[in-house]
Structure 1
Amino acid sequence: MQRNEAEIRISILRFIMIFGVVVLHVPPHVPIAEIGPGAFDQLKAFFQSAVFRCSVPVLTVISGYLLFRAGLDRRYGALLRKKLKTLVVPFLAFNLPLVALAFLLQSGGDFAISYQLVPLDAATMLDAAFAFSAAPLNFPLYFLRDLMVLALAAPLLGWCLRHAALPGLAAALLIMLYDLGGPLLLRTEMLVAFYVGGMAALRGWNLHALDRFAWPALLAFLLAAAAMVAGRVENTTWLGLAAPFLVWPAASLLDGTRTGRWLAGMGRYSFFIFLAHSVVLLVAWMAWRHLAGGLPYPLFWAVAPFATVALLVALHRLASRHLGDPFHRLLGARGPAPRAVAG
């Protein structure tokens, strides 16, 4: 696969996967063990408890692939400068203001969210603001936090990839299986996915090799997701780790199509959607509960992801037009043109 073809597919998948993240976070969360028997309950679980659980592993593989393909693990100063700009700045810009707002609202009365910041507690504030040992207040941003940890470990991972790739993969799997990441990684399966992305970059994998199995790969993935819902399997780790090997070739079905070109073009909005979607969904959920009257929940669930993405795309365009460079700096210096940069 030519490099530009890989970048186009990456842009397509980034938008699809981040739309999937939005779907995952439409409230309320219902554990798979508690899903009801109705058709809507099954459909909701299919997407929220199975299909789009692949989003983070796929995005993590892409991030590892891009980092090691660029050789940043061998240029540590450049790596740190880049990740400070592309991960730390967006994390702080899209989390700390929410922490401050939540603290003010809880100081003035009852405001129930995932964190209770009043009375002030140092450990709670460290987690809410900086994801010290748990997901931050803007909880999807744990992904950026763990990517930063993986970037810091990139020189060690790069040495393993070049000199002991399979033992390194085995070590990553052991860390995941026995949860040996300690306080460093909130989701240890990201280490395995990141390492696999590095293997694809440094071991010369043919990214086009599985494309001829695109339809079987897509079918296998969907059947596996359906089986997990039918069996009420809560642990989606193995489906998530298998997903990149199924979703990547399945995405070849979009190569050269009008839909694929549109999705690739939408990739420019992906990161902003990721950073801001949880706030939009929370506001939408609160508004629906208090203002929607008799509108059925399935309607909210079906409309919320599309409305959230549409709103954030419009806000991105407005901010790009009127704020320009300062806005893009908050997004990690990601410019308005479509780019295949992950983290």
Structure 2
Amino acid sequence: MLSQRIWLTRYLMVIGIVILHTPPYQSLTELDLSFFNFIKAFFSHAVFRTSVPMLTVISGYLLFRSKLIEQPLQLITKKARVILLPLILWNIPVVLGIFFIQHYQLTTHIFSVQLSPFDSLNWFNALTGLLSSPANYPLNFLRDLFVLSLISPLLAVLLNRGPWLGAIIVALVFYFNLDGDIILRNTMLISFYIGGLAATQRWNLTKLDPYAIPLLIIFILICSAIVIFDLENRTPLRIIAPFMVWPSMSLLMKYKNGAFLERYVGSSFLTFLAHGPLLLAFWLIYQTFLPKVPYPLFWCAAPLIITIGCAWLHTKLKRYVPTLTSIALGGR
């Protein structure tokens, strides 16, 4: 039951990330409180800003619960295969595509990376995210997750010898940004450590389930307040969100919708890896060929098409090219 809930939560968070990344990005101050803009801001600037923290907590929990943490060499080898390899593989076509577009000036769209003229450092960064977000920009999550995996043996020492002192140290590193550019999204350090606490301290992960409804209501109210009052600082929400989102997932597990989604949870990683370039392609097509189509229709349709399409594609790839699919998905 716990594993099912973890898989379902992961899948919903990935769907949330697809919605979150649907272009164009607009700050809260740019959005008025019309009905559609409120809905867009509610999900894009509040609800699904908690997706990465939730995924990071789960990753930390699973890592520190496993015996892999006691075998650093095997840990690095496995994480290189399941995180670093997909990060690089799924950046290659995006890097080549952006280079081709920029080289021949096929669009005026401004990309997050400049790859033409060729510069080896820019290309290396675009492929790996070494210094900043990679070309396939959502994969900066994998980049930071790989770094967290590398330092997890150090975090394990804190978790095993002084977990709450370790929490204070991690909080100070986060607050003063002592990690610099080692972790690009440094709130992930806190989320990862919380997952480690849950694993090493053997937290009862269903303890808050009886309070799922009030916690969900509080979560909705906080997200609504963020939109209504234009609160750009969402760091507190990112930190506390797992304690509201995780119990809320117990509600979904009780209904048929949860059972329906469980059929497709295996496609979550493919959806995450592919959604960035797919959204960009959809956006360029929309701007070029379908400018008269109402934007709300695009905003609703693009994530839906990508989610359904990736679920279908995952099934076909696993059936017809299982070995290549396994490599591309890091052994998943």
TM-score range, shorter chain: over 0.9
Contact 1:269/1:313 (8 A) holds in 2: yes
Deviations 1:288-333 (A, max 9, x none): 1122242110111111111111111122122112111111111011
TM-score when normalising by structure 2: 0.96
Give 2:30's aligned residue.
Answer: 34
Measured in 1, the distance between the counterparts of 2:221 and 2:293 equals 32
CA RMSD, Structure 1 to Structure 2 (Å)? 1.2
Matches within 5 A, 1:150-299: 150-299=148-297
Identity of aligned residues (%): 39
CA deviations on 1:134-193 (whole Å, 9 max, x unpaired) are 110100100111011111111110110011111111111112112221121001100000
The reply to whether residue 53 of structure 1 matches residue 49 of structure 2 is yes
Cα displacement (A) at 1:125: 2.4
Q: Determine whether 1:307 maps to 2:305.
A: yes
Alignment of 1:31-180 (within 5 A): 31-111=27-107, 112=109, 113-180=111-178
How far apart, CA to CA, are the structure 1 residues paired with 2:260 and 2:33? 37
Partner of 2:20: 24
CA contact 1:22–1:277 (8 Å) conserved in 2: yes
> Secondary structure at 1:54's aligned position in 2?
helix
Instruction: Look up the SS of the partner of 2:264 in the other structure.
Output: helix
User: SS state of the match for residue 117, structure 1?
Assistant: coil
Number of residue-to-residue matches in the alignment: 330
Q: Give a deviation string over 1:81-139, Cα, whole Å, max 9, x none.
A: 21011101111110022112221232222443222211223442232121111110100
Corresponding residue of 1:13: 9
TM-score by length of 1: 0.93
One-letter amino acid matched to 2:157: W
- Runs (4 or more) in structure 1 with deviation over 3 Å come to none
- Write the letter of the residue equivalent to 2:105: G
Structure 2 unaligned spans of 5+: none
Question: Hey, what does 1:317 align to over in structure 2?
Answer: 315
Deviation at 1:37, TM superposition (A): 3.0
**C-alpha distance in structure 2 between counterparts of 1:50 and 1:256, whole Å:** 25
